[in-house]
Structure 1
Amino acid sequence: MNIKSLKNKIIQGHRITKEEALTLINAPLNELCQAANEIRQHFCGNRFDACTIINIKSGKCSENCVFCAQSIHYDTKIEEYNLMDKNKLKQETLNLYNHGFKRISYVSSGRKISSSEFNVIIEVIRELRTLQNDINICVSLGLLSSDEIRKLNEVGATRVHCNLESSEKYFPHVCSTHSYSDKIDTLEKINDTRLLACSGGIFGLGESFEDRVDLAFTLRDLNIRSIPINVLNPIPGTLVGSNDVLDNDEVCRIIAIFRFINPSSFIRMAGGRSLLVDHGRCAFMSGSNSAILGNMLTTLGVSFDEDLDMIRGLGFQICFDII
């Protein structure tokens, strides 16, 4: 199908089919990216949803995700530490808030956190929301129960993150210590509350483009509004430590196709963006309208000032409080 015709149909309310999406894999890249950017402008305007993360617990993860430096199954020499002290976590959060970052995500290693760790996080969120009612705290805590999600909802957390990583078909090549359905179950529980679900994938693991398309449709079916796009940063010692890094063109094509499938979502450049030669500039003009700013979990990101200058220079309005 002609890209322009398909773009116009989507703008008029058409939900793209998988057959149509697969034709985009070999479509002319510049035309595809321009059309994706126009879809983004139509549905989202120039709003740019920014967040930053705090790695609240590092390493010692029981899961065997093939890309993860924090897994106990791989020797990666990363810094390991238990859950951050409550007062230290509050102070780090307030430091970011006082520098203008009103959306901050707490990310913990592990399949799931313990009840005592969860209670600390709940207390911190409750106290911060009492101090600053415009602060937005998101969490990425692994697999969660209905009761934990209910408590996060009650204290005023805004988003809960749980990446699907890849398609259901390819997921057994990504992890064998938990299942795709475990993740879907967590996301469906989140969708039963006022909390927003955040879920995306990591690209460059060896998956096919059809796997990427299938993931995008799964996220659409789950009505995910925040979709992180992670580019594999190959960590020596992991099972994909020798994989090639995706180039700019392939990343832009992934983002553009995700925009065609999820026209009104915030498609968020996340891990691995610093590996791109332009730090994501072309990606932000290919349908992406969101990013994690600052450092990632175990790797360095792009500097805040450089990011803010680039994003504003592209005509976006940076927001830390979009729901």
Structure 2
Amino acid sequence: MANVDVLELAQKIIDGHRIQRGDDLSFFLTCDLEKLETGAGWIQKHFCKNHIDLCTIINGRSGRCPENCKYCAQSVHNKTGCEEYPFLPKERIIAEAKQNAAAGVNRFAIVTAGRALTGEEFDKAIEAYEEMHKTLKLGLCASMGFLSKEQLHRLHEAGVTSYHHNIETSKRNFPNICTTHTYEDKIREIKMAQAEGLCVCSGGIIGMGETWEDRLDMAISLAELNIHSIPINALMPIPGSPLAHLKQIPAEDLMRTIAFFRYINPEANIRLAAGRKIMKDFGEKALVSGASATITGDMLTTSGTTIRGDFEILNRLGLNNAAGENCGSCGNC
């Protein structure tokens, strides 16, 4: 497949062809980037129309995480000096959700550090979700680690429609990034959330020392899991973390990754996440070259653009985040 015409392949994907594990995908790594971006844009336009999904997050509990993920500012194993605090008051969370809803975003997520949110803190989260579900027109998402089936059910009953749980990297590379939980643990959590009827948001981070083949494998694995929302993060090396020494990846590598993720996951929302600022246009070109969604506003330990700034980008590109035009077959991501 070394001489694959990526524009012809894009049209085949639009017509129903799907890339499978075992296919020779090496051409994605050497083909002309501009042509690859054009083809990814065709696929995006077909499946996602002019819709860009905008989501915001709040760091509901920060720091003191017992897991040893090498990229993370909030792990107790990494001396990053990150802010630490318990689960935020419900009033603080709801106030921020209201501001984001008024600004026009599509969905809002509470993200918490730690292996899992449990006990009284989880009960507080449920209370916050129940009130937001009753009073706000926002899609509600959660990212709270390794929850039980019962917890996932409680979230669903409280109005949460999407659960976020990144696979982070390829199965092969995962032990190089984290050893306190396994890749298989993550797959099990994703399948539990799907069995509950939640849309799953799952992606990963590039630039952690993995190979291009690891990135392709991650894209295929997410397709096999039928993931409808795929955040792509570029590592922002954090002082005090084990990956602090790594060089930031070039913007071109991020663009190539976004483009071939669109080819491999044509109907999903490919979501810009951490690392937008390494692109000189903050991802504006990416939003017509494969990325149909983005995290906006404040982003945990990494910065992105403002909500207002993203709406200005959408207006320039003739895109919108109007309800009812979502891509992704579950309709919630």
What TM-score, normalized to structure 1? 0.96
Q: CA 1:21–1:311 in structure 2 vs 1: closer, same or farther (change >3 Å)? A: farther
> Which residue is 1:91 aligned to?
95
> Which residue is 1:193 aligned to?
196
Is residue 6 of structure 1 aligned with residue 9 of structure 2?
A: yes
Alignment of 1:233-272 (within 5 A): 233-272=236-275
8 Å CA contact 1:63, 1:72 repeated in 2: yes
> Which residue is 2:329 aligned to?
none
Q: How many corresponding residue pairs? A: 322
Deviating more after overlay: 304-313 vs 78-87: 304-313
1:287 partner amino acid: G
- Deviation at 1:99? 2.8
Secondary structure, aligned partner of 1:104: strand
Secondary structure, aligned partner of 2:67: coil
What residue ranges of structure 1 are gaps of 5+ in the alignment? none
Match for residue 150 of structure 1 among 153, 159, 169: 153
**Partner Cα separation in structure 2 for residue 22 and residue 141 of structure 1:** 36
**Partner Cα separation in structure 1 for residue 218 and residue 8 of structure 2:** 24
Alignment of 1:129-278 (within 5 A): 129-132=133-136, 134-278=137-281
- The Cα offsets for residues 5-51 of structure 1, whole Å up to 9 and x where unpaired, read as 21121111111134243321111111111001101111111111110
What residue ranges of structure 2 are gaps of 5+ in the alignment? 327-331
Alignment of 1:264-303 (within 5 A): 264-303=267-306
Is residue 105 of structure 1 aligned with residue 121 of structure 2?
A: no
Deviating more after overlay: 27-36 vs 78-87: 78-87
Runs of 4+ aligned residues of structure 1 deviating over 6 Å after TM superposition are: none
**Partner Cα separation in structure 2 for residue 83 and residue 236 of structure 1:** 25
> Which residue is 1:306 aligned to?
309
**Partner Cα separation in structure 2 for residue 101 and residue 43 of structure 1:** 21
Secondary structure, aligned partner of 1:34: helix
Secondary structure, aligned partner of 1:17: coil
Match for residue 67 of structure 2 among 63, 67, 91: 63
**Partner Cα separation in structure 2 for residue 8 and residue 262 of structure 1:** 14
Secondary structure, aligned partner of 1:55: strand
1:198 partner amino acid: C
Secondary structure, aligned partner of 1:46: coil
8 Å CA contact 2:43, 2:290 repeated in 1: yes
Aligned-CA RMSD value: 1.4
**Partner Cα separation in structure 2 for residue 53 and residue 261 of structure 1:** 27
What TM-score, normalized to structure 2? 0.93
8 Å CA contact 2:228, 2:269 repeated in 1: yes
Match for residue 79 of structure 1 among 83, 91, 95: 83
Alignment of 1:30-69 (within 5 A): 30-69=34-73
**Partner Cα separation in structure 2 for residue 271 and residue 15 of structure 1:** 28
